[in-house]
Every structure is written in C-alpha cells, then in structure tokens.
C-alpha cells in the first residue's frame, strides 16, 4: 500500500509541475512588426486586447485571418496550437466561422 501511495504522489507532483509549466508560457514578439504583436496578443487569449491591437494597426479581422502568419503558420492554426482561449479567439478572428477544425485541414 505504501508503494501505491508513493506512485500516486509522484504522478500527482509530476502532472502538477507540467500544468504549472504550461500555464506560465509567455509569448514575446520576435520583432517590432505589427503582425508579430497581433500574434502575441492572439496567443495570449484576450479577445478585447486582440480587437484593440487589430484596430490600432488599422487592419480588419478578415485581413488578419487571410494574411497574418505567426511562426510560418496561419494565425488561426498558430492560436490553435499554442494559444489560450482557442475557440473564443479563433471565432473572433474568423467572424464566427471557426468550428474547432484547423481551417487548412478542412479544405
């Protein structure tokens, strides 16, 4: 019984540490490009900040969806792979067309 308890405790600590490491991820723009900032804001998962970043850049959601790439991925795929609040952010970027399936794989 002591062995089982130790295994459960080690597993719990391991998974807890992994969750903490993932939760503390921060994205930093690699350059001063407007699109890099939009990628960072999108990945951080705050829809209001993303709206402001797009508006301040003088861009539209449609333009961002069709033209912005982050780490050589379309922004929607980048957010899906690395971002927080994926569905909320991608529905905003795609004006509600996001279904939870990567767009490039759906076509």
Q: What residue ranges do the domains of the chain occupy?
A: 27-102
> Which among 78, 83, 67, 1 is positioned nearest to 34, based on CA atoms?
67
Give the distance from CA 35 to its chain's centroid.
14
Whole-angstrom CA distances from 46 to 16, 25, 41, 107 are: 25, 15, 7, 28
pLDDT in tens, 68-80: 999 899 999 999 9
**pTM score, two decimals?**
0.67
pLDDT in tens, 49-67: 999 999 999 999 999 999 9
């Amino acid at each position: 019984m002591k062995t089982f308890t130790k295994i459960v405790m080690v597993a719990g600590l391991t998974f807890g540490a992994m969750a903490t490491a993932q939760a503390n991820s921060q994205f930093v723009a690699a350059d001063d490009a407007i699109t890099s900032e939009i990628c960072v804001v999108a990945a951080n998962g705050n829809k209001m900040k993303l709206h402001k970043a797009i508006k301040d850049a003088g861009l539209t959601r449609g333009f961002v969806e069709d033209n912005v790439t982050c780490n050589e991925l379309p922004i929607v795929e980048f957010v899906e792979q690395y971002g927080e609040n994926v569905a909320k952010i991608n529905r905003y970027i795609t004006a509600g067309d996001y279904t939870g399936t990567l767009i490039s794989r759906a076509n």
